[in-house]
Amino acid sequence: MLLRAAWRRAAVAVTAAPGPKPAAPTRGLRLRVGDHAPQSAVPADTTAAPEAGPVLRPLYMDVQATTPLDPRVLDAMLPYLINYYGNPHSRTHAYGWESEAAMERARQQVASLIGADPREIIFTSGATESNNIAIKGVARFYRSRKKHLITTQTEHKCVLDSCRSLEAEGFQVTYLPVQKSGIIDLKELEAAIQPDTSLVSVMTVNNEIGVKQPIAEIGQICSSRKVYFHTDAAQAVGKIPLDVNDMKIDLMSISGHKIYGPKGVGAIYIRRRPRVRVEALQSGGGQERGMRSGTVPTPLVVGLGAACEVAQQEMEYDHKRISKLAERLIQNIMKSLPDVVMNGDPEHHYPGCINLSFAYVEGESLLMALKDVALSSGSACTSASLEPSYVLRAIGTDEDLAHSSIRFGIGRFTTEEEVDYTVEKCIQHVKRLREMSPLWEMVQDGIDLKSIKWTQH
């Protein structure tokens, strides 16, 4: 309440301040509330350039990288940032009891979303840590009897790197290929399971192309072969229905900031019956049933719990709305532009993640041209690399098309006007960049580019 009152007073002060009012934001751009740059101790030069106007920010269409904090989540967190600041592990006074009660309520909210028992939820710093605990923790605990793991070539980088780390420790890892659709072949999975396989790890929804894997079928195969099944569900929890018991999932990774919650918090579901054992990655006070030592950050886990509760209430509505917006974006782009390819299976697909390749256009050039829309060409965790996406390479996309891909993310707060603006700008800049491309000119003249033998000079 104090913080909100402070914000209101600040807003009134800004409104009442003398001087010219800021101009209305341009269509397709959002207005930043204010400039909070630190004040310099050096006296200002009165002859300097006039004061800059309001800063315009691009539209946000990159919800696979992160989502904005839902205001309802912030409301739930605020009391634990200001008034209820006790350590949830302090058992001798009311401050600790209050925080512990909030932590356990959040655990219940997370468990309810995925059909789990609250005792099966362990709080972590995010999905990367959860994936590390699941993969390394299971492999190392059962290493005396089982030294083989299975994953896919299109997993998140933290899963692939965890598996490579285990290979350096002497484990054997099978990296399953995916089909052109991005979905694994279940027969190949069955054939890959060995007597000493301890874990299968397959992502629920891919973070680059939005493909949904047949999780229930994979869970059934793993259960019948007595192999533990882990899924990285960071892009799926709160967006599609998931039930860990119906789908026979033994371990699941969850991220707070992918479901309109705070950054820096996540969870891992670890099945109790039949019990899955993991070796802890860090030593400490033995919090979270000894699986993840360290003080649980009460405000963050309260935010994660609130985000899960809101997602459970609004999942059906969000999915319908996002599906309509996604269909609008895809149809309007494809009817206006030829040679646009949608990457991944169009049927088994989460609609809020759309990956399109624009032939004869360099993806990075298109991203720079679309400077008033925040988009990406793939995972935020590998966006610094100029290499084409390993996910697109795994589904057999030509290198030229892989370099021309853009990921459009549609979320809870995306509007119809934002989608239309993005489509309009995308069409405009793709046409302009193609007009500058000699390859596009050759294609228009009927030349088959694949028949040309290129030489290096």
Average of per-residue pLDDT across 36-47 = 44
Q: Which of 284, 310, 336 is the last residue of a domain?
A: 310
Give the angle 163-169-170 at the CA atoms, nearest 5°: 95
Token duo for residue 418:
């934002």
For the chain, the C-alpha Rg in angstroms (whole number) is: 25
Residue whose tokens read 């009442």: 16
Tell me: do 421 and 354 sit in the same domain: yes
Cα 202 to Cα 44: distance, rounded to the nearest angstrom: 57
Cα 255 to Cα 231: distance, rounded to the nearest angstrom: 12
Give residue-wise pLDDT tens across range 145-164.
Answer: 999 999 999 999 999 999 99
| Mean confidence (pLDDT) of the chain | 88
Q: Can you give the pLDDT at residue 40?
A: 40
What is the count of structural domains for the chain?
A: 2
Give residue-wise pLDDT tens across range 186-197.
Answer: 999 999 999 999
Average of per-residue pLDDT across 40-51 = 49
- Strand pairing category for 353-358 and 340-342: antiparallel
Q: Which residues are catalytic?
A: 381
Give residue-wise pLDDT tens across range 48-63.
Answer: 555 666 778 999 999 9
Tell me: do 282 and 393 sit in the same domain: no
Q: Can you give the pLDDT at residue 199?
A: 98
The H or E element containing residue 228 is: strand 228-232
Average of per-residue pLDDT across 377-404 = 78
Has residue 441 got a pLDDT over 80?
A: no
- Residues with Cβ within 8 Å of residue 358, at least 6 apart in sequence: 337, 339, 340, 366, 404, 405, 406, 430
Share of the chain above pLDDT 90, in %: 78
DSSP string, 7-19: HHHHHHHHHH-SS
Token duo for residue 279:
């070796």
pTM given for the model: 0.86
Has residue 9 got a pLDDT over 50?
A: no
Q: Can you give the pLDDT at residue 444?
A: 77
Q: How far is CA 302 from the centre of its chain?
A: 20
Average of per-residue pLDDT across 82-109 = 97
Lowest mean pLDDT of 39-53, 179-193, 400-414, name the range.
39-53
Cα 410 to Cα 188: distance, rounded to the nearest angstrom: 33
Q: Can you give the pLDDT at residue 76?
A: 98
Average of per-residue pLDDT across 414-422 = 98
pLDDT-based confidence at residue 36 (cuts at 50, 70, 90): very low
Phi, psi (degrees; rounded to nearest 5) at 37: -65, 145
Q: Can you give the pLDDT at residue 4?
A: 47
Give residue-wise pLDDT tens across range 210-245.
Answer: 999 999 999 999 999 999 999 999 999 999 999 999
State which residues form the domain around 383: 315-439
Q: What is the CATH number of the domain that holds 414?
A: 3.90.1150.10
Q: How far is CA 12 from CA 8, 39, 115, in A?
A: 6, 22, 46
Q: How far from each other are the two terminal CA atoms of the chain, in whole angstroms?
A: 68
Tell me: do 303 and 320 sit in the same domain: no
Residue of higher predicted confidence among 8 and 103 = 103
Tell me: do 182 and 196 sit in the same domain: yes
Token duo for residue 322:
């996002």
Token duo for residue 179:
């089909």
Q: What is the CATH number of the domain that holds 159?
A: 3.40.640.10
Tell me: do 139 and 194 sit in the same domain: yes
Q: Can you give the pLDDT at residue 43?
A: 45
Q: Which of 257, 287, 310 is the last residue of a domain?
A: 310
Give residue-wise pLDDT tens across range 98-142.
Answer: 999 999 999 999 999 999 999 999 999 999 999 999 999 999 999
| SS3 at position 41 | coil
362: in domain: yes
9: in domain: no
Tell me: do 229 and 246 sit in the same domain: yes
Average of per-residue pLDDT across 337-353 = 96
Q: Can you give the pLDDT at residue 33?
A: 40
pLDDT-based confidence at residue 438 (cuts at 50, 70, 90): confident
Tell me: do 390 and 298 sit in the same domain: no
Q: Which of 279, 295, 310 is the last residue of a domain?
A: 310
pLDDT-based confidence at residue 450 (cuts at 50, 70, 90): low
Q: How far is CA 450 from CA 225, 405, 408, 436, 439, in A?
A: 46, 19, 29, 20, 11
22: in domain: no
Q: How far is CA 91 from CA 3, 32, 84, 97, 279, in A?
A: 29, 43, 15, 6, 27
Token duo for residue 19:
């001087």
Q: Can you give the pLDDT at residue 439?
A: 76
The H or E element containing residue 336 is: helix 298-336
> How many other C-beta atoms lie within 10 A of the C-beta of residue 259?
25
449: in domain: no
Q: Can you give the pLDDT at residue 11?
A: 45
Tell me: do 174 and 323 sit in the same domain: no
Bridge-partner residues for 10, per DSSP? none
Tell me: do 321 and 299 sit in the same domain: no
Tell me: do 89 and 111 sit in the same domain: yes
In this structure, which amino acid lies at residue 351? P
Q: Can you give the pLDDT at residue 287?
A: 94
Tell me: do 301 and 348 sit in the same domain: no
pLDDT-based confidence at residue 445 (cuts at 50, 70, 90): low
Q: Is there a contact between 349 and 211 (Cβ–Cβ < 8 Å)?
A: yes
Has residue 201 got a pLDDT over 80?
A: yes
Tell me: do 277 and 337 sit in the same domain: no
| 416 burial level (CB within 10 Å; 0-12, 13-18, 19+) | exposed
